[in-house]
Amino acid sequence: MILVPAVFLGLLAGWFRSRLSSKVWRVPELKYAWLVLVFIIPQWLVFALPISRDLFSKPLAASCLVLSQVGLLLFSLLNRHLTGMWIFSAGLILNLLVIISNGGFMPVSTLTLSHLIPATTLASLTVGERISLNSKDILLAPNAIKFSWLADQFISPSWFPWRFIYSIGDVLIALGVFLLLTFDQNLQDNKQERKSLHVNTPII
Amino acid sequence: MKKITALLALFLVKIQDHHIQIFMVSLTLVLLILGAGAPMDVGGIGNISIFGK
């Protein structure tokens, strides 16, 4: 849920930008949105739904994650004409690269995790296994991670209410969505738009 | 109760196509960002959270 605020901040920034320029703000027109719904289902089954996530073996869960992310990448590339989508796609490709290179899950090193959780909790986790059944992360020794610079390695600042570990790809993904909602060519002339839509109030 | 009903009715009347469009695009992007990203919520280790985040 950590990345979700990027959507709301983008909506807020887009609306605020339209107010500043006295233009009507419209949401970007996403093509093939059904692809998102279709390709999110494997992740939902593997990581979220308690009934089904216990049924997936480790290799099958990894395959589902990769399949899901490839599908989402396809969606982002089909919408590459929109502002921010190239940055989003780059983030997704980086995440996908490190996930595929490390057995189908996002690697996090024992060293990184040791900065955030008690030693007793860390000791209870198994190196080479997923952090939990609902996690995309796999715990690995620092020297065992391929493309370690792309792995979950950055730690949220201590003053931030949520403690989490994120990757370069995650940053680009959040940035891409924020830019999409804020700077896509979605501002239209207010008077012209109102005449065409026959409405008296600005959109949103 | 009447006031709540009246407010709800007013709210429903005010909903326009573009509001639904904004909701649908927001929902799509939330699902997209949940599926594409992989940050690990440290507080969620061992707990249930959406898509492991």
pLDDT digits (tens, 9 = 90+) for A141-180: 999 999 999 999 999 888 887 888 999 999 999 999 999 9
The DSSP 8-state label assigned to residue A140 in this structure reads E
Our CA-based measurement puts residue A116 at a distance from the nearest CA of chain B, in whole angstroms, of 7
Q: CA–CA separation, B34 vs A92, rounded Å?
A: 11
What is the 8-class DSSP label of residue A61? H
What confidence tier does A14 reach under pLDDT thresholds 50, 70, 90? confident
Q: Which of the residues B15, B24, B25, B32 would you substitute to probe the A interface, choosing the one with the greatest number of A C-beta atoms within 10 Å?
A: B32
Q: Say whether pLDDT at A19 is over 60.
A: yes
- Chain A positions in Cβ-Cβ contact with residue B32 (cut-off 8 Å): 36, 40, 72, 75-76, 177
How does strand A137-140 pair with strand A154-155?
Answer: unpaired
Question: Hey, which residues does A138 pair with through a beta bridge?
Answer: A107, A130
A133: helix, coil or strand? coil
Distance between B39 CA and the closest CA of chain A, angstroms = 4
C-beta neighbour count of A36 within 10 angstroms: 23
User: What is the pTM (predicted TM-score) of this model?
Assistant: 0.82
- Angle at the Cα of A188 (from A179 to A79), degrees rounded to 5? 40
Any bridge partners for residue B40, and if so which? A165
Q: What is the pLDDT of residues A81-94, one digit of tens each?
A: 998 999 999 999 99
